[in-house]
Structure 1
Amino acid sequence: MHWGVVVWLVQHWGWRPLVANVFGWLVAFTVSFAGHHRLTFRDHAAPLGRSAARFFLVSAGGFSINEAVYALLLHWSGLRYDLALAAVLVAVAVLTYLASRHWAFLHSQAS
């Protein structure tokens, strides 16, 4: 979804890839939290507010890495913007899933 939003904004609206990436992340964050909360981690039993706040931190951290690495790839690699973004999104998705699984949606009295 994120990738598609970015490509669409760049190709049809002429947005710069790094700016479109911010908007893509906002869309993806909303959809991703809803999906994780209702489907992926539906048995987590963690409070909604705590999960949302933690997932936002995980997602924002992942996006910060995404944007920094994406900017470096756009500047130094010579890859097309869409291929560079796809590579970055795959790596960040793995990190975000692991952080969500082991922290954001973790139900524990000590957390």
Structure 2
Amino acid sequence: MSRELLWFGIVGVSAMLVHLGSVALVLVPLGLPPLVANMVAFLLAFQVSYLGHHRFTFSAADAPVARSRRRFFLVALSSFLVNEVMYALLLRFTELDYRAALAIVLVAVAALTFFSARQWAFASNERA
């Protein structure tokens, strides 16, 4: 599992750089509004994330590609929604600094994403 965690971090950082870079360096300069650019960038970063996790993190060669792509998209989208809700709740109902609240949310959501991807999205036929 330590190899999976290492690759999960490497792939996650790579996807984040694609997301940030595509918004800041390409999409907004081309005239897309930032919120629209963010949605397009999410889809681009999803491709990097999916391919990296499928190939390196979970070595999911025996997981059907169409099924694992669909499932991982649901995991990624759900993780984004959980992130937003948890962050909003912590900001609203606690005294935490916004940075501390975000750090808590990011760690919790990363763990949720890792285990959901590992146990469900990239599960082999035997584990699905």
- The one of the two structures with greater contact order (alpha-carbon pairs below 8 A, sep at least 6) is 1
Gaps of 5+ in 1: 14-18
Name the residue aligned to 2:81: 64
Given that 1:73 and 1:79 are in contact with CA atoms closer than 8 Å, whether structure 2 keeps it comes out as no
1:36 maps to 2:65: no
1:18-97 pair list within 5 angstroms: 26=42, 28-77=45-94, 78-80=96-98, 82-97=99-114
- How many residue pairs get matched? 99
Percent identical among aligned pairs is 44
Q: What displacement does 1:86 show?
A: 2.3
CA distance in 2, matches of 1:28, 1:94: 19
State the Cα RMSD in Å: 3.4
Distance 1:65 1:84 in 2: 13
TM-score by length of 1: 0.66
CA distance in 1, matches of 2:49, 2:118: 13
Uncovered stretches (5+) of structure 2, i.e. residues with no partner: 1-12, 29-34
